[in-house]
Structure 1
Amino acid sequence: MRTIILYASRHHGNTKKLVDAIVEAHPEIDTLDVKALGKNEYPDLHEYHLIGVATGIYYSEIDKDMARVLTNVLQPQDKVFGLMTYGGKNKWYGKDIDGICRMRQAIFMGVYGCPGF
Protein backbone atom coordinates (compact mmCIF):
# COMPACT_ATOMS: atom_id res chain seq x y z
CA MET A 1 0.00 0.00 0.00
CA ARG A 2 1.70 3.21 -1.14
CA THR A 3 1.75 5.70 1.76
CA ILE A 4 2.77 9.32 2.21
CA ILE A 5 2.83 11.42 5.35
CA LEU A 6 2.29 15.15 4.89
CA TYR A 7 3.70 16.98 7.89
CA ALA A 8 3.99 20.45 9.39
CA SER A 9 6.31 20.77 12.36
CA ARG A 10 7.12 24.31 13.41
CA HIS A 11 7.30 24.75 17.17
CA HIS A 12 9.88 22.41 18.72
CA GLY A 13 10.08 19.84 15.92
CA ASN A 14 8.13 17.22 17.89
CA THR A 15 5.85 16.29 15.01
CA LYS A 16 8.86 15.78 12.74
CA LYS A 17 10.41 13.49 15.37
CA LEU A 18 7.25 11.38 15.31
CA VAL A 19 7.29 11.20 11.50
CA ASP A 20 11.02 10.34 11.49
CA ALA A 21 10.45 7.46 13.92
CA ILE A 22 7.69 6.03 11.73
CA VAL A 23 9.81 6.31 8.58
CA GLU A 24 12.78 4.72 10.34
CA ALA A 25 10.61 1.68 11.04
CA HIS A 26 8.94 1.81 7.60
CA PRO A 27 11.38 3.33 5.08
CA GLU A 28 8.98 2.70 2.19
CA ILE A 29 6.77 5.56 3.43
CA ASP A 30 7.23 8.87 1.60
CA THR A 31 7.07 12.21 3.43
CA LEU A 32 6.42 15.80 2.41
CA ASP A 33 6.92 18.94 4.49
CA VAL A 34 3.96 21.18 3.60
CA LYS A 35 5.94 24.19 4.87
CA ALA A 36 8.29 23.72 1.88
CA LEU A 37 5.42 24.25 -0.58
CA GLY A 38 4.58 27.64 -2.07
CA LYS A 39 1.22 29.30 -1.34
CA ASN A 40 -0.30 27.97 -4.58
CA GLU A 41 1.71 24.76 -4.83
CA TYR A 42 -0.06 21.47 -4.16
CA PRO A 43 1.30 17.91 -4.35
CA ASP A 44 -0.24 15.30 -6.62
CA LEU A 45 -1.25 12.43 -4.34
CA HIS A 46 -3.14 10.25 -6.82
CA GLU A 47 -0.57 7.43 -6.62
CA TYR A 48 -0.92 7.06 -2.83
CA HIS A 49 -3.38 4.64 -1.22
CA LEU A 50 -2.97 6.06 2.28
CA ILE A 51 -2.33 9.68 3.28
CA GLY A 52 -0.98 10.56 6.70
CA VAL A 53 -1.45 14.03 8.11
CA ALA A 54 1.05 14.92 10.84
CA THR A 55 0.76 18.30 12.52
CA GLY A 56 1.15 20.07 15.78
CA ILE A 57 -1.94 21.61 17.33
CA TYR A 58 -1.84 25.38 17.64
CA TYR A 59 -4.59 27.00 19.72
CA SER A 60 -6.75 23.85 19.25
CA GLU A 61 -6.35 23.80 15.46
CA ILE A 62 -4.11 22.10 12.93
CA ASP A 63 -1.42 24.05 11.12
CA LYS A 64 -2.97 26.58 8.68
CA ASP A 65 -0.74 25.53 5.77
CA MET A 66 -1.70 21.91 6.36
CA ALA A 67 -5.40 22.79 6.30
CA ARG A 68 -4.94 24.73 3.03
CA VAL A 69 -3.07 21.86 1.37
CA LEU A 70 -5.56 19.21 2.51
CA THR A 71 -8.50 21.27 1.31
CA ASN A 72 -6.93 21.45 -2.14
CA VAL A 73 -5.53 17.93 -2.61
CA LEU A 74 -7.83 15.40 -0.96
CA GLN A 75 -10.04 13.48 -3.37
CA PRO A 76 -13.20 11.45 -2.74
CA GLN A 77 -12.38 8.05 -1.22
CA ASP A 78 -8.79 8.97 -0.22
CA LYS A 79 -7.91 7.15 3.00
CA VAL A 80 -6.49 9.56 5.59
CA PHE A 81 -5.03 9.13 9.08
CA GLY A 82 -3.82 11.77 11.52
CA LEU A 83 -0.77 12.14 13.75
CA MET A 84 -0.99 14.96 16.28
CA THR A 85 1.32 16.50 18.82
CA TYR A 86 -0.11 18.99 21.28
CA GLY A 87 0.66 20.86 24.46
CA GLY A 88 -2.83 21.10 25.94
CA LYS A 89 -5.23 18.57 27.34
CA ASN A 90 -6.03 15.55 25.19
CA LYS A 91 -9.18 16.60 23.31
CA TRP A 92 -10.58 15.64 19.94
CA TYR A 93 -7.88 17.43 17.98
CA GLY A 94 -8.66 15.32 14.90
CA LYS A 95 -11.79 17.40 14.31
CA ASP A 96 -10.13 19.66 11.73
CA ILE A 97 -8.85 16.78 9.61
CA ASP A 98 -12.15 14.95 10.01
CA GLY A 99 -14.02 18.05 8.84
CA ILE A 100 -11.81 18.52 5.77
CA CYS A 101 -12.17 14.82 4.93
CA ARG A 102 -15.95 15.06 5.16
CA MET A 103 -15.97 18.16 2.97
CA ARG A 104 -13.76 16.46 0.35
CA GLN A 105 -15.53 13.06 0.74
CA ALA A 106 -12.31 11.39 1.86
CA ILE A 107 -12.27 8.62 4.46
CA PHE A 108 -10.87 9.64 7.85
CA MET A 109 -9.57 6.43 9.41
CA GLY A 110 -8.42 7.69 12.81
CA VAL A 111 -5.86 9.71 14.68
CA TYR A 112 -2.94 9.19 17.04
CA GLY A 113 -2.09 12.02 19.39
CA CYS A 114 0.54 12.59 22.01
CA PRO A 115 1.92 15.48 24.05
CA GLY A 116 4.64 17.38 22.22
CA PHE A 117 6.84 19.72 24.18
Structure 2
Amino acid sequence: MNKDMIELIEEFIENAIIHGKATYDGDYKRGNKAGDKLFEICQMMKENIGLAQNMLDILLCNDEPNVKIWACSIALDMGYKVIEVEKMLRKLSEMPEIGILGFDAKMILETMDKL
Protein backbone atom coordinates (compact mmCIF):
# COMPACT_ATOMS: atom_id res chain seq x y z
CA MET A 1 0.00 0.00 0.00
CA ASN A 2 1.50 3.33 -1.00
CA LYS A 3 1.57 6.49 1.07
CA ASP A 4 -0.97 8.33 -1.10
CA MET A 5 -3.53 5.55 -0.71
CA ILE A 6 -3.00 5.42 3.05
CA GLU A 7 -3.55 9.18 3.25
CA LEU A 8 -6.72 8.94 1.14
CA ILE A 9 -8.07 6.14 3.34
CA GLU A 10 -7.33 8.14 6.49
CA GLU A 11 -8.96 11.25 5.00
CA PHE A 12 -11.99 9.22 3.91
CA ILE A 13 -12.42 7.71 7.38
CA GLU A 14 -11.94 11.04 9.14
CA ASN A 15 -14.49 12.83 6.96
CA ALA A 16 -17.03 10.01 7.06
CA ILE A 17 -16.88 10.08 10.87
CA ILE A 18 -17.22 13.88 10.90
CA HIS A 19 -20.12 13.66 8.45
CA GLY A 20 -21.88 11.04 10.59
CA LYS A 21 -21.43 13.03 13.80
CA ALA A 22 -22.59 16.22 12.08
CA THR A 23 -25.67 14.34 10.86
CA TYR A 24 -26.50 13.30 14.42
CA ASP A 25 -25.85 16.81 15.75
CA GLY A 26 -27.70 18.64 12.98
CA ASP A 27 -24.52 20.59 12.13
CA TYR A 28 -25.16 20.89 8.40
CA LYS A 29 -22.23 23.24 7.70
CA ARG A 30 -19.70 20.82 9.16
CA GLY A 31 -21.49 17.89 7.54
CA ASN A 32 -21.52 19.54 4.13
CA LYS A 33 -17.81 20.36 4.36
CA ALA A 34 -16.98 16.74 5.21
CA GLY A 35 -19.36 15.53 2.49
CA ASP A 36 -17.63 17.71 -0.10
CA LYS A 37 -14.27 16.18 0.83
CA LEU A 38 -15.76 12.69 0.61
CA PHE A 39 -17.16 13.43 -2.85
CA GLU A 40 -13.70 14.59 -3.97
CA ILE A 41 -12.19 11.31 -2.76
CA CYS A 42 -15.02 9.35 -4.39
CA GLN A 43 -14.27 11.05 -7.70
CA MET A 44 -10.58 10.09 -7.43
CA MET A 45 -11.62 6.52 -6.71
CA LYS A 46 -13.95 6.38 -9.72
CA GLU A 47 -11.11 7.59 -11.94
CA ASN A 48 -8.78 4.82 -10.74
CA ILE A 49 -10.58 1.47 -10.39
CA GLY A 50 -7.55 -0.33 -8.95
CA LEU A 51 -7.11 2.32 -6.27
CA ALA A 52 -10.84 2.23 -5.54
CA GLN A 53 -10.95 -1.53 -5.10
CA ASN A 54 -7.92 -1.52 -2.81
CA MET A 55 -9.40 1.29 -0.73
CA LEU A 56 -12.85 -0.29 -0.60
CA ASP A 57 -11.41 -3.59 0.62
CA ILE A 58 -10.13 -1.69 3.65
CA LEU A 59 -13.00 0.78 4.12
CA LEU A 60 -15.70 -1.89 4.00
CA CYS A 61 -14.06 -3.54 7.03
CA ASN A 62 -14.06 -0.37 9.13
CA ASP A 63 -16.10 -0.46 12.35
CA GLU A 64 -17.60 3.02 11.94
CA PRO A 65 -21.12 2.79 10.45
CA ASN A 66 -20.85 5.95 8.33
CA VAL A 67 -17.52 4.84 6.88
CA LYS A 68 -19.19 1.61 5.79
CA ILE A 69 -22.23 3.43 4.43
CA TRP A 70 -20.13 5.77 2.27
CA ALA A 71 -17.90 2.90 1.14
CA CYS A 72 -20.94 0.76 0.29
CA SER A 73 -22.41 3.57 -1.77
CA ILE A 74 -19.22 3.88 -3.82
CA ALA A 75 -18.92 0.11 -4.21
CA LEU A 76 -22.49 -0.09 -5.53
CA ASP A 77 -21.87 2.77 -7.97
CA MET A 78 -18.87 0.86 -9.28
CA GLY A 79 -20.53 -2.57 -9.26
CA TYR A 80 -17.93 -3.83 -6.79
CA LYS A 81 -18.80 -6.62 -4.33
CA VAL A 82 -22.48 -5.85 -4.85
CA ILE A 83 -23.93 -8.86 -2.99
CA GLU A 84 -21.63 -8.37 0.01
CA VAL A 85 -22.35 -4.64 0.07
CA GLU A 86 -26.12 -5.14 -0.12
CA LYS A 87 -25.95 -7.48 2.89
CA MET A 88 -23.85 -4.95 4.76
CA LEU A 89 -26.32 -2.13 4.05
CA ARG A 90 -29.29 -4.29 5.08
CA LYS A 91 -27.58 -5.09 8.36
CA LEU A 92 -26.77 -1.41 8.95
CA SER A 93 -30.34 -0.39 8.10
CA GLU A 94 -31.64 -2.71 10.83
CA MET A 95 -29.41 -1.34 13.61
CA PRO A 96 -31.48 1.00 15.80
CA GLU A 97 -28.38 2.05 17.73
CA ILE A 98 -26.98 3.95 14.73
CA GLY A 99 -30.10 6.09 14.43
CA ILE A 100 -30.51 8.16 11.28
CA LEU A 101 -27.45 6.55 9.68
CA GLY A 102 -29.47 3.34 9.45
CA PHE A 103 -32.05 5.30 7.48
CA ASP A 104 -29.27 6.47 5.14
CA ALA A 105 -28.31 2.83 4.54
CA LYS A 106 -31.96 1.98 3.85
CA MET A 107 -32.29 4.85 1.35
CA ILE A 108 -29.20 3.68 -0.55
CA LEU A 109 -30.76 0.23 -0.85
CA GLU A 110 -34.09 1.65 -2.00
CA THR A 111 -32.40 3.87 -4.57
CA MET A 112 -30.40 0.90 -5.83
CA ASP A 113 -33.54 -1.22 -6.14
CA LYS A 114 -35.14 1.45 -8.35
CA LEU A 115 -32.26 1.43 -10.83
Q: Give the TM-score normalised by structure 1.
A: 0.34
Ranked by relative contact order (alpha carbons within 8 Å, sequence separation 6 or more), the top structure is 1
Higher helix proportion (structure 1 or 2): 2
